[in-house]
Amino acid sequence: MMQTIQIQPLTPDAFKPFGDVLDIAGEPTVIINQGLCQRFSDLATLDCVGDDAKTGISLFNSDKRTLPYQLDMMERHPLGSQAFLPMTENAFLVIVAPDDGGKPSIPQAFLTQPGQGVNYHRNIWHGVLTPLSEPGLFAVIDRIGPGNNLEEFWFDMPYLIGPSRVTAIPL
């Protein structure tokens, strides 16, 4: 029997152990462009290990997922942070977990608001990119460089994320 994880709204406080929420809540850092543009500066803690590595901009184009979502695997990046910024106004699903001796503990699931991105801190367990709409187009700011920057953990028993599966009552 799979355990169901309820989806929470994404807030900076709830997400703090895992990374940064990237949005325009709060006061702008500065107003620019003759008063016509708000700038919210330096929202993410970027982390990139290794003299031969750099931070780069990539684009991800992902198939959408549906709820309830079966979480079979989580991953983490030991050498760098990874930020996801949606290039649409659609919400997406964010799944993270505390570490428990080298494997993910019970996952936590968040639903973004339109206009929110996230930055996973280095070595934080997270699910793969899970848009809930198409196109699943994201700008990704992460480490570009050599070395093994991917660790995966497959669950013996997957989790179910989101609304419980409705069980049809046999007639």
Q: Does 56 engage in binding with its own copies (CB under 8 A)?
A: yes
Select 2 or 87, whichever has its Cβ closest to its own copies: 87
- Residues whose CB is less than 8 angstroms from the CB of residue 167 and which lie 6 or more positions away in sequence, other chains included: none
x/- track of binding to its own copies for residues 72-111 (CB under 8 A): -----------x-xxxxx----------------------
Q: Does 38 engage in binding with its own copies (CB under 8 A)?
A: yes
Q: Does 63 engage in binding with its own copies (CB under 8 A)?
A: yes
Q: Does 61 engage in binding with its own copies (CB under 8 A)?
A: yes
Task: Decide: 80 and 143 in contact? Cβ < 8 Å.
Answer: yes
Q: Contact region for its own copies (CB under 8 A) — 4-12, 98-106, 139-147, 156-164?
A: 139-147
Q: How far apart are CA 17 and CA 110, in angstroms?
A: 13
From the list 92, 83, 163, the residue with the least C-alpha distance to 130 is 92
Residue 2 DSSP symbol: P
Q: How far apart are CA 111 and CA 16, in angstroms?
A: 15
Q: Does 124 engage in binding with its own copies (CB under 8 A)?
A: no
Q: How far apart are CA 87 and CA 130, in angstroms?
A: 14
Contacting positions for its own copies (CB under 8 A): 22-24, 28-29, 32-34, 36-44, 46, 54-63, 83, 85-89, 115, 117, 119, 128-129, 135-137, 139-141, 144
